[in-house]
Amino acid sequence: MSILSGKNILLGVTAGIAAYKTANLVRLFIKEGASVKVVMTPASKDFVTPLTLSTLSKNPVYTTFFEKGEEETEEWNSHVDLGLWANYMLVAPATANTLSKMSNGVCDNLLLAVYLSAKCKVYFAPAMDLDMYQHPTTKKSIEKLQSFGNIFIPPSSGELASGLIGEGRMEEPEKIVSFIENDIIKGLPLYSKKVLITAGPTYEAIDPVRFIGNHSSGKMGFALAKKAASLGAQVYLISGPSNEKVSHSLIQRIDVVSAQEMYTEVHTYFKDIDIAILSAAVADYRPKNVSLTKIKKSTNTMNIELVKTKDILASLGEIKKNQFLVGFALETDNEIENAIAKLNKKNLDLIVLNSLQDKGAGFKNETNKITIIDKSEKISEFSLKSKAMVAEDIFNEIMNKIYA
C-alpha cells in the first residue's frame, strides 16, 4: 500500500509528444491503489487514444463538455463534478500553450474548465522543446502557476523530439508518481516522525511444540501502524505471532516470537523513535526451563516453574528522553485505578485502557472500546468503534499532546 491508495487522481493530458507516457502513468497510479479519471484536450487525441487510457483507468475518458448518445442525445460532462471528485489533479504533459492558458484563466476546453474548478492540490509536469521551455513567457507561466499554489514537477534534461538535447522532457512516469507521493507525505502531520508500535501476543516456549501464550490477534497494533503511516510517519511495527497482514511503503515489520525477542528489538529501535505505542500483549511469565525435546505425557500432573519476563514498557519509561510513550492496560476490575497506577509507575505519557467487561472490546474482535488517560490523569472515554477508528482516536490524542 502507498500513500496514494484509495485516492482519486484526475489526470489532464494535453497535446504534446510526451502524451504517450500517460498510459504508463495511469498504470502506475492504478498499481499504487488510486482511482484515476482522465481528461484530455481535443488535440491530445492525436498523440494517445482515449480508448487506451479508458482501458487502463477503467473509467470513461473525458474530452468535451458534451457526449453525443446513439440517438443524438447529449450528455453533459460536468467540470464541477470532476473537480470535486479529485483528491489530486495532475496535468501531464503540460504544453506551453496549456501552461499559458492555465496561468491566465483562459477556459476554452473541458480540461481548463476542470482545472479552474478543482478544489484539490494541482501538479503540472511541463513537456516541450528546449527553446520553448526556456522562453520567458513559459517561465512566467510556471512562476504564476506556482504562485497560485500549484506544484511544479520539473522536466528532465535529455534528447528531445526535435533532436536537440536539453531541458524540456517530461519527467518519467515513475519519478512523477514518486514526486507526488513524497510531496503528499511532506504535508502530513507526522511527516519526519518515527513511530514504534508493538502488536500481537508473545509465545513463551515450554518445549519444541508447546508454549504459553494469549489470545491477542494483533489487530489493534496493526490498525495503529496503518494509521501512523497514513499520517506520514515512518513506522516500525514489532509484532509477535499474528495472522494480520500489512503492506505499506512507510511500515517496516519486524517479527518476533518471545517476550525476550520483543524486548531486544524494541530497545534496538527506541533510541531513535519519536512516538512509541506498546499495544502488544506481552507474556508476564515464561517457563524457567525449556525442554529441548517434546515432553511426554507420563504423569497425571505436571508442574512448570515460571519466572517473570522483562517489563518492556517499564524499561522504556526508565530511559526515555524526548520520546512520547503510550501503553495499554487490559483490566477486568478496578480498571481506572489500575490504569492510572500503571501510567504513573511506568512513566507513560498516555495509557489506553481496555476493559474486558465491555462487550465488543478485547482480543480478536474487530471493534474496541477504550478510555485514554493522560499524565495529568485526565480521563477521555470513547464509544465502541472499529479498531481503525480507535487508532484514529488514539493518534488524535497523541497529536493534541505533542503539537500543543
For the annotated binding site for CTP, the residues are: 284, 294, 328, 342, 346
Buried b or exposed e, range 367-390, using 16+ CB within 10 angstroms: bbbbbbbbeeeeeeebeebebbbb
What CA–CA distance (Å, rounded) separates 397 from 382? 12
What CA–CA distance (Å, rounded) separates 235 from 43? 45
DSSP states of 196-209: EEEESB--EESSSS
Buried b or exposed e, range 50-77, using 16+ CB within 10 angstroms: beebbebbeeebbbeeeeeeeeeeeeeb
| Residue of 214, 344, 347, 365 marked catalytic | 214
Residue type, 374: D
Q: 3-class SS at 137?
A: helix
Q: What nine digits make up the cell of 379?
A: 480521563
| Residues in binding site | 284, 294, 328, 342, 346
Look up 243 and say whether it is catalytic.
no
Q: What nine digits make up the cell of 259?
A: 517476550
Q: In which element (H, E) is residue 101 found?
A: helix 96-104
- Distance, C-alpha 304 to centroid of its chain: 44
Q: Which residues are catalytic?
A: 214
